Amino acid sequence: MKKYCIILLSFLTLPGFSTEYFVSNSGVNSNSGTINSPFKTITYAVSKIKGGDIVYVRSGIYNEQVILYKLPNTTISAYNKETVIIDGTGIDPGDGSGLVRSFSQYTQFIGLTVRNSVQYGITLDQNNAAHSVISGCTVYNCTKSGIGEWADYCTVKDCVVYNVTLDNTGGVMSVGWGCGISCHGSSSIHLTGNLIKHNIVHDIWGEGIIVAWAINCIVEDNTVYDNFSVGIYNRNSHNTLNQRNFVYTTKVMNKGSQVGLGHWNEDPAFVNQGNIFQNNIVSGCKRNIRCSWDTDGLRVINNTFVNSTYSAGVEIEDKLTNSLFANNIVVQEGNLPCISNAAGSGMVFLNNLYNKAHSNSTGAGDITGDPGFAGGNITTPDYFKLSSNSPAINKGTSGVTDDYFGNLRDIPDIGAVEYMFATGTPPVVISSFKAVILHGQLQMTFTEPKGRVTIYTSSGWPIMTKNINSTTLNIDVSRYRKGIYLVSYTNLKTETVKIVV
């Protein structure tokens, strides 16, 4: 009996078999498409490529619609970070369509500027463009939404989106406006596994970022400001992680609700469940966070909310179950209350710091007082760092392992930012000593000449103890393993600071 081994090879998208094509305003579509003989239009280049190929676009303005259809693993990229503008002036992409659009899996749009679309800017379409990436793109001046992430396991990262949803300019629409970046399924199609990371979204006449009818998505490290409706909105989603986002408002947008973080439902058949807001900083919105309507398992943990302008800084409404509000800083200067919590809301409160008294949301471990922000420019995250005398230090509960800046939490603080004393920071001054790290040396000056210094690992294991008989001490920390350490000084009392090596 003869035995056969049959090997099936597919050459559709094998790595290493891609061809690079080039497009330039100075090119001609009858050219070969090489860097020295480029095509003139992106559309023509797309008509010539196969799945897995790369189209590099040279600097210039391209007045065309770009669509990838049945071209998996295809990349369209600005060449060598040149300025590539795809302009929609005079073009109607079709109702609900992007000026740049993919119907193909594993596609990438990199470094493109898309503007002046009478519909959407860039879209990844449902059931077709899964596992695709939009990276480093700029989208502006669009009548509808900026970027639509409408397929599973897609990523939008390092993009800038502004001045879109122009059909609602001035707040002329009662409902139905668009957004800056949307991860948006439908009542019958629930998106899965999408990422929206490290984008800047502002001046949107709708929502900034929305996750709707979606499961297991992440919204992180974004800066979102001056938007008409909600900065970051979770609607009818499950297990969405919203973390390390900076959301703020500097101006009034006519008729806009201008909520910082929003969490409620519009579909009773698929209600919010298991979503998390952690390590976010929200400032100056009409409402800094609003949570309501048929929610189960919501976690609002280690955030910083400062000075809403219309109503209570934190609004908790009814129909929440198994939900937790913990380790948050809530500052509300003036006459507006820190928090509004509906009777029977279902929210549990623990270890929060409020700058003034409140009555309807108390919990174990709460603190009332000034959080002691570092200050400076309130439109930068550094403003919300803690100073060395902040009452929030070491008063949080465990659970969130890092902070807004990505620093590890050891003994957790309350709020989005963990207090850190590290190389390059000004000296920390407490009642018994002053300390600073310079050139790999921990330099300490004591108010009393006798005492004991102990350095601990972040887990509390002592690695050095030294008795002090003078007012100064230098410790070489240049060879310490990188990480967080606790420096404790004992005289009549014991005081401790964190250092980062």
Residue 429's pLDDT band, with cuts at 50, 70 and 90, is low
The pLDDT of residue 155 is 98
Read off the pLDDT of residues 450-495 as tens digits, 9 standing for 90 and up. Answer: 888 988 887 778 888 888 888 888 988 877 877 778 888 888 778 7
User: The domain spanning residue 436 has which CATH number?
Assistant: 2.60.40.3080
| Residue 353, C-beta contacts closer than 8 angstroms, at least 6 positions apart | 328, 329, 330, 366, 367, 368, 369, 371, 391, 392, 395, 414, 415
Which residue do the tokens 């095509």 mark?
39
Residue 130 within a domain: no
27-36 long-range contacts (CB < 8 A, ≥24 apart) are: none
| Residue 139, C-beta contacts closer than 8 angstroms, at least 6 positions apart | 113, 114, 115, 121, 122, 146, 147, 159, 160, 161, 162, 164
pLDDT beyond 80 at 425 = no
Which residue do the tokens 């959080």 mark?
371
Question: Of how many residues is the chain composed?
Answer: 501
- Structural domains counted in the chain: 1
Read off the pLDDT of residues 229-250 as tens digits, 9 standing for 90 and up. Answer: 999 999 999 999 999 999 999 9
Sign of CA dihedral 361, 362, 367, 368: positive
Read off the pLDDT of residues 247-266 as tens digits, 9 standing for 90 and up. Answer: 999 999 999 999 999 999 98
Residue 327 within a domain: no
Residue 492 within a domain: yes
| Mean pLDDT for the stretch of residues 102-128 | 96
| Mean pLDDT for the stretch of residues 189-199 | 97
**φ, ψ dihedrals at 322, nearest 5°:** 50, 40
The pLDDT of residue 101 is 97
Residue 114 within a domain: no
The pLDDT of residue 426 is 55
| Structure token digits, residue 146 | 């900026």
Residue 15's pLDDT band, with cuts at 50, 70 and 90, is very low
Residue 435's pLDDT band, with cuts at 50, 70 and 90, is confident
In the chain, the percentage of residues whose pLDDT exceeds 70 is 95
The amino acid at 10: S
Residue 434 within a domain: yes
The pLDDT of residue 259 is 98
pLDDT beyond 80 at 90 = yes
Sign of CA dihedral 392, 396, 402, 408: positive
Q: In what order do the strands lie in the sheet with 428-429?
A: 428-429, 433-438, 441-446, 472-476
Helical (H) or strand (E) element with 42: helix 42-48
**φ, ψ dihedrals at 173, nearest 5°:** -95, 140
Residue 448 within a domain: yes
Mean pLDDT (the chain, rounded): 91
pLDDT beyond 50 at 3 = no
The pLDDT of residue 479 is 77
Residue 183 within a domain: no
Read off the pLDDT of residues 262-294 as tens digits, 9 standing for 90 and up. Answer: 999 988 889 999 999 999 999 999 999 999 888
DSSP 166-208: GGGTTS--SS---EEEEEE--SS--EES-EEES-EEEEESSEE
The pLDDT of residue 424 is 53
Residue 153 within a domain: no
290-327 burial string, b = 16+ CB within 10 Å, else e?
Answer: bbbbbbbbbbbbbbbbbbbbeebbbbbbebbeebbbbb
Residue 356's pLDDT band, with cuts at 50, 70 and 90, is very high
The boundaries of the domain holding residue 494 are: 428-500
413-426 burial string, b = 16+ CB within 10 Å, else e?
Answer: bbbbbbbbbebeee
Helical (H) or strand (E) element with 333: none
**φ, ψ dihedrals at 140, nearest 5°:** -155, 165
